[in-house]
């Protein structure tokens, strides 16, 4: 049986950052699709009333769409700190009327440099683009004892203690529940980045054979996924035998090389991560937030 995790959670820093909802952006009227067409669709940014973790990552009339609330600090320098420090599962607070309401960080999106936050539906409908959201960041620097070749990043240590997400150590390897496994050969935009402590990289979904083999047509926002033969220890690269685990943070795309984005949580160069596939390995189920996957 997997053993109880021992971490350095009492020696990592806790500090707040402040962000605001990021207004929807549209930089180009039309874009070229992977199959030679053109499209003009809603994309990054915004307070999205009807898209949350647990919802499908595919099938929406949008491109790179981000669930729930996309946020950033208006100052680029401060935003870089907010992106680095914000970890999946961090608590976010916003004042709505006279009441302080809570949500959770669900990931970061590179390029646009957004932090995505899931709030309850009634909060979404009252939130404005002028509201300040305070994220109680903690997680960078987290270590798990008992596995020599393991990197942990972008993860609130409280996530390791939730019964809804079974994680443990079996022998000399980390066991972690995931919704799906993916082959590294389909990973695209973001590959080659030399730092995985913020941002994401994309799952290409343009090969129907691979999609059917790995069940990728049913990917959900918030799914925990294991990428086989991918090493995120010191950047993103292909490496036979390596395993990295992340979370799906944004929706599908029409542009070649792009697709649903994955933000890194664990990485092992020598493959000392043993993914265990279970349909409940989604942030909505784990955090009791978003839309419970059906």
Whether the pLDDT of residue 3 is over 60: the answer is: no
pLDDT mean across residues, the chain: 91
Q: What is the pLDDT of residues 35-74, one digit of tens each?
A: 667 656 777 889 999 999 999 999 888 788 899 999 999 9
Q: What is the pLDDT of residues 72-91, one digit of tens each?
A: 999 999 999 999 999 999 99
Which residues, in sequence order, are bridge partners of residue 103? 92
151-287: which CATH architecture?
3-layer Sandwich (2.102)
Which residues, in sequence order, are bridge partners of residue 18? 134
What CATH number has the domain spanning 9-138? Answer: 2.40.10.170
Per-residue model confidence (pLDDT) at position 110: 86
Per-residue model confidence (pLDDT) at position 1: 41
Q: What is the pLDDT of residues 159-176, one digit of tens each?
A: 999 999 999 999 999 999
Per-residue model confidence (pLDDT) at position 29: 65
Whether the pLDDT of residue 256 is over 50: the answer is: yes
Positive or negative, the CA dihedral 52, 53, 59, 64 is: positive
Per-residue model confidence (pLDDT) at position 191: 86
What are the angstrom distances between the C-alpha of 147 and each of 116, 131, 156, 265?
30, 42, 19, 15
Mean pLDDT within 101-129? 95
Question: Would you list the domain boundaries of the chain?
Answer: 9-138, 151-287
Which residues, in sequence order, are bridge partners of residue 230? 238
Query: CATH topology of 9-138 equal to that of 151-287?
Result: no
């Amino acid at each position: 049986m997997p053993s109880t995790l021992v971490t350095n959670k009492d020696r990592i820093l806790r500090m707040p950052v402040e962000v605001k909802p990021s207004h929807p952006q549209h930089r180009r009227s039309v874009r070229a699709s992977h199959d030679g067409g053109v499209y003009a669709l809603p994309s990054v940014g915004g307070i999205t009333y009807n898209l949350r973790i647990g919802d499908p990552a595919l099938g929406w009339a949008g491109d790179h769409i981000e669930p729930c609330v996309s946020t950033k600090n208006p100052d680029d320098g401060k935003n870089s700190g907010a992106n680095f420090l914000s970890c999946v599962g961090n608590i976010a607070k916003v004042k709505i009327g006279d009441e302080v309401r809570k949500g959770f960080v669900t990931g970061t999106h590179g390029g646009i440099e957004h932090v995505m936050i899931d709030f309850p539906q009634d909060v979404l409908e009252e939130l404005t683009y002028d509201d300040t959201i305070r994220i109680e960041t903690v997680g960078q620097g987290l270590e798990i004892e008992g596995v020599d070749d393991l990197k942990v990043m972008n993860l609130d240590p409280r996530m390791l203690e939730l019964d809804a997400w079974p994680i443990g150590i079996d022998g000399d390897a980390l066991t972690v529940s995931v919704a799906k496994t993916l082959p590294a050969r389909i990973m695209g935009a973001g590959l080659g980045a030399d730092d995985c402590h913020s941002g994401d990289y994309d799952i290409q979904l343009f090969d129907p054979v691979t999609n059917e083999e790995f069940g990728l047509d049913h990917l959900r926002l918030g799914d925990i996924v294991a990428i086989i033969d991918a090493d995120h220890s010191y950047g993103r690269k292909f490496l036979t035998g390596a395993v990295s685990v992340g979370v799906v943070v944004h929706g599908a795309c029409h542009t070649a090389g792009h697709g649903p984005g994955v933000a890194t949580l664990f990485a092992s160069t020598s493959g000392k991560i043993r993914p265990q596939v279970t349909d409940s390995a989604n942030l909505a189920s784990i955090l009791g937030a978003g839309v419970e996957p059906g």
